[in-house]
Amino acid sequence: MKLTVLTDNNTYIDQYYLGEPAVSYFIEDEGIQLLFDLGYSDVYLRNAQKLGIDLTKVDTVVLSHGHNDHTGGLSDFPALEHRVKLIGHPQVFEEKRIGQLIVSSPLRREQLEDRFELRLSQEPLAVTPNLTFLGEIERTNNFENQSPIGEYRCGCNWHPDYLIDDSALAYRGKDGISIITGCSHAGICNIIEHAKQVTGVQRVCNVIGGFHLFDEYSEQLLQTVEYLDRERITSLYPCHCTSFAARAAIYRKIPVQEVGVGLTLEW
């Protein structure tokens, strides 16, 4: 499997790509070309062009969750001759807000049904023989995602949003599994445990994506660092919605790798 970062908050020095506070990864595996998240705007398209990546060959889009820094690029997704699979949680297109700010996908489900083959599932789905969409993440610990982030709309009413649509990908390699996240609203530790259960593999080799950690003194971060240290993960790539303070706190116990637009990983 090969992963290329098309969109991230960070860009590398002397590599002239565009950054934005969002996520988009281009993934190639077993002849499948897919996009995991589409960022906030058309930045993923512009960076792909500079990187020489032809997105007209993409056959699958996976959405980690419904926030617009992961779904905003749907508005700019090119019209292709073939029908593209779009995978996500059934609630990924619900209207979401934080205060009065709408933070959901710019396009609703009914606007996408003509262009995409929608595969919305709470259950895990095989994307390739070795790559799995994890579906709805079981939340088993007592320190992650204890508070809602804004609200979601159901009918005429607004409800606290615990982001149950948040999911991730797990790749089964010869040495263990690698996990690709968007924001980890479900909690990165919950995601890892769920991935182990879904794949039946206990060894975790790599994790890349947003960890949604900010305060270096929070109980969630302290327990997350302890968990990651016990797991002895080979390579950690916390990015996007992971503050410098949080990454530094993790680095004090476990080496972390820098992430930026143009980074390519092969697992």
Q: Give 190-221 pLDDT, tens digit per residue.
A: 999 999 999 999 999 999 999 999 999 999 99
The average pLDDT across 43-63 equals 97
At 231, which helix (H) or strand (E)? helix 219-231
Grade residue 35 by pLDDT with cuts at 50, 70 and 90: very high
Q: Give 106-157 pLDDT, tens digit per residue.
A: 999 999 998 999 999 999 999 999 999 999 999 999 999 789 999 999 888 9
CATH number at residue 170: 3.60.15.10
The full length of the chain comes to: 267
Alpha carbon distance 146, 162 (integer Å): 8
Q: Which domain holds residue 253?
A: 2-266
- The structural domain count of the chain equals 1
Q: Give 76-108 pLDDT, tens digit per residue.
A: 999 998 999 999 999 999 999 999 999 999 999
The average pLDDT across 37-56 equals 98
Q: Give 223-257 pLDDT, tens digit per residue.
A: 999 999 999 999 999 999 999 999 999 999 999 99
Q: Left if phi > 0, otherwise alpha if psi is -120 to 50, otherwise beta: which for 202?
A: alpha
Q: Contacts from 10-17 at CB under 8 Å and sequence distance 24+?
A: 10/239, 10/258, 10/259, 10/260, 10/261, 11/260, 11/261, 11/262, 12/258, 12/260, 12/261, 12/262, 12/263, 15/260, 15/261, 15/262, 16/50, 17/47, 17/50, 17/51, 17/260, 17/261, 17/262
